[in-house]
Amino acid sequence: MKRVSRAVAAAVGTALVAVSGTAVVAAQPDVGRHTYTGTIGGAAYKVETPERWNGTLLIYSHPYYPADMPEFPPGNGNRVDSEEWLLDQGYALAASDFKGRTGFVVKEAVRDQIGVLDWFESHVGKPRRTVATGSSGGGVISLLLAEKYPQRIDGVLAMCAPIDLYGQMNLSLDINFALKTLLAPDAKDIELVNAKDPAGSVQRLQQVMTEKVETAQGRARIALASAFGNVTGWNSAHDPKPATIEGQARALYEIQLYGAVGVFGAVGQVDLAEHAGGNPSYNVGVDYARQLAKSDQLAFVRKAYREAGLDLSKDLARLASAPRISPDPQARQWMLRHAVPRGTTPSPVVTLHNTADLAVPDHERWYATQVRHRGDPADLRQLFVGRATHCAFTVGEEAVALRTLLTRIDTGRWPTTDPGRLNAQATALGESWSKVFDFATGTDAVRSAAFTAYRPSPLLRPSR
């Protein structure tokens, strides 16, 4: 199955699995258990209606699917029991697979989701309330959908979202820039943006990382590069954070090998440039010494450098003197227009984030600041789960987050979001709702609910 999150997201995300590309006979306006598939404007969609519709439609936006990896690893897919539970409770589910499907299809996604909503209203009925939800990049799309169509969306549940997508791409560039400069300074065949051979550039940088991680010096430099994104050296939803410098550095190696380098390195940057009409990513004017000083990982980097016998100031000087990358102005404007939520909160928003994630939880603090400037903080609740890796939530944790949002929509007031009570609610759903997928091992395991009080750090490279 393709990777989506779980609970509500997983259930609605099932609409993205094995979507047919053929048109279907128009649905009858009566409510009943039906599955509808087809295409709208070249984008596949799926809609599921329950036996007795409660008037609520959940419209799910799928994550960023890398252009060179159309399917996520099997085994971490959608929970059939949660989908059936939602349908049993009377929720209708809908999703577009987006025209183009893979890569940076953010602009297309918003248009295609509205197309599905239009279809639903014409063929099934007008929802009493419509909730936009999604995980990872799909969480960003859900926020953009609500901001661009405020009269159509009644609430948003955004999970594990790198909300400032432009900022996230620049953070990924910072990490790749530091890795190349410090680990392979003479490698002219490793290009970071506008690469002629993007897949080759990624493979070569990954090969260098794999060689260097076996030395204390290489591990220290991987730690430094990761600190520019404020990424924590913890890469397991099932195991505690490593206790040693080497253990944390090796975790960072795994995170960046497949994340910042593998997905958002040269291949991701080329795909982004194709959508944006030029390269928007840049590091002109970035002071990496200052960025490190603001990073939560500063003390860890200093320890790693001492252990490796390296001079941190010399490596920072090397970064300072390395040639920089400039953006194409029109591509920069495209990103700000199409890929960065403004924080206007036209409807209530719940966000859900792990405390350790490549898509760092710092995005939540950035978004809260945007809401203070342009929206209403009373319309926002941000929930955190004390666990590592991307989108590592139990089914129960996601269900409780949805319940929190629906209560606010229905009553105009937020229920308690005290972590203890949220954990009790998630635990009460039972063990079958307590599985967590771990990206690092590709396995599921039962884990206790882990809502926690948490204050993220500032995002190191915000787009605004």
Question: Residue 103 maps to which CATH number?
Answer: 3.40.50.1820
Q: Where are the alpha helices (DSSP H) in 184-265?
A: 198-212, 216-227, 245-256
Structure tokens of 128? 């009493």
Same-domain status, 184 and 317: yes
Structure tokens of 204? 């070569």
Question: What percent of the chain is helix, strand and coil (3-state, nearest 5)?
Answer: 45, 15, 40
Same-domain status, 69 and 157: yes
Same-domain status, 133 and 20: yes
Q: Which domain holds residue 15?
A: 7-164+340-452
Look at residue 4 in the predicted model and tell me its pLDDT. Answer: 33
Look at residue 82 in the predicted model and tell me its pLDDT. Answer: 63
CA distance 255 to 234: 9
Same-domain status, 35 and 144: yes
Task: Answer yes or no: is 463 within a domain.
Answer: no
CA distance 55 to 296: 45
Same-domain status, 171 and 160: no
Q: How many domains does the structure of the chain reveal?
A: 2
* Backbone angle region of 331, left / alpha / beta, with phi > 0 → left and psi within -120 to 50 → alpha: alpha
Task: Answer yes or no: is 204 within a domain.
Answer: yes
Same-domain status, 31 and 152: yes
In the DSSP assignment, the letter for residue 260 is: I
> What are φ and ψ of residue 69, in 5° steps?
-145, 75
Task: Answer yes or no: is 464 within a domain.
Answer: no
- Residue ending a domain, among 310, 334, 358, is 334
Find out whether 191 and 170 touch, Cβ atoms under 8 Å. no
Instruction: Single out the residue of 189, 157, 196, 223 nearest to residue 407, CA to CA.
Output: 157
CA distance 190 to 193: 10
- Residue ending a domain, among 271, 306, 334, is 334
Is the pTM higher than 0.75? The answer reads yes
Same-domain status, 190 and 313: yes
Task: Answer yes or no: is 460 within a domain.
Answer: no
Quick count: other Cβ atoms within 10 Å of Cβ 370? 20
Same-domain status, 158 and 214: no
Say which residue the tokens 């089914």 belong to. 395
Same-domain status, 401 and 278: no
- Residue ending a domain, among 279, 307, 334, is 334
Structure tokens of 28? 């009858």
Task: Answer yes or no: is 102 within a domain.
Answer: yes
Same-domain status, 309 and 361: no
Task: Answer yes or no: is 458 within a domain.
Answer: no
Same-domain status, 29 and 141: yes
Task: Answer yes or no: is 24 within a domain.
Answer: yes
Task: Answer yes or no: is 2 within a domain.
Answer: no
Same-domain status, 319 and 359: no
Look at residue 414 in the predicted model and tell me its pLDDT. Answer: 98
pLDDT values of the chain reduced to their tens digit, one per residue, 464 residues? 233 334 443 433 333 332 333 333 333 344 689 999 999 999 999 999 999 999 999 999 999 988 765 554 333 333 334 677 788 889 999 999 999 889 999 999 999 999 999 999 999 999 999 999 999 999 999 999 999 999 999 999 999 999 999 999 999 999 999 999 999 999 999 999 999 999 999 999 999 999 999 999 999 999 999 999 999 999 999 999 999 999 999 999 999 999 999 999 999 999 999 999 999 999 999 999 999 999 999 999 999 999 999 999 999 999 999 999 999 999 999 999 999 999 999 999 999 999 999 999 999 999 999 999 999 999 999 999 999 999 999 989 999 999 999 999 999 999 999 999 999 999 999 998 899 988 888 888 999 999 999 999 999 999 99
Look at residue 68 in the predicted model and tell me its pLDDT. Answer: 61
